[in-house]
Amino acid sequence: MSEVFVRQAQMGLVGLPPAASLDFDSKQIDWQECGAQGFRIKPLLEDTRAGLRTWLMQVDAGAFSPLHAHDEVEQIYVLEGSFYDQDKTYHPGEFIVRAPGAMHSAGSVDGAVVLLFYSPASSHS
């Protein structure tokens, strides 16, 4: 494993490995501010060439983000607590997938941890 991948893994910024597998303990990564009050992330995979991002996101109790959209496909898996959008409240084990450009809000009444996956929109119609 190259020193670059080791350093990225320690920071939680891991690109796709050139071969085989790469692993690290996400508990060793600090939560980072992401620009939305009450929302923090741990980037687990960031590969700009492939257009992939995988993040853990911690949502504080009472945090809310108004309607917004992403250019990518967004997939959300609720790990802990409860997470809501304009449609409903989601609990551990529930999964949400959003098409690119889908408007949505986000928040939590009691706090949550979710796993987020972002990937490019399909080039197929």
82: domain CATH number is 2.60.120
Does pTM top 0.85 for this prediction? Answer: no
User: For residue range 55-103, what is the model confidence (pLDDT) as tens digits?
Assistant: 999 999 999 999 999 999 999 999 999 999 999 999 999 999 999 999 9
* Residue at 36 is within a domain: yes
* Residue at 3 is within a domain: no
Average pLDDT of the chain to the nearest whole number: 86
* Residue at 124 is within a domain: yes
* Residue at 103 is within a domain: no
Distances (CA, A) of 102 to 6, 15, 24, 51, 92: 36, 27, 32, 18, 23
Q: What is the pLDDT of residue 123?
A: 52
Distances (CA, A) of 84 to 52, 62, 63, 64: 24, 11, 10, 9
Q: How many domains, in total, are found in the chain?
A: 1
Q: What is the pLDDT of residue 3?
A: 34
Tell me how far apart the alpha carbons of residues 17 and 109 are, in angstroms, rounded to a whole number.
37
* Residue at 102 is within a domain: no
* Residue at 1 is within a domain: no
Q: What is the pLDDT of residue 27?
A: 87
The residue range of the domain holding 32 is 11-16+24-95+112-125
Tell me how far apart the alpha carbons of residues 20 and 56 are, in angstroms, rounded to a whole number.
23
Tell me how far apart the alpha carbons of residues 50 and 72 are, in angstroms, rounded to a whole number.
12
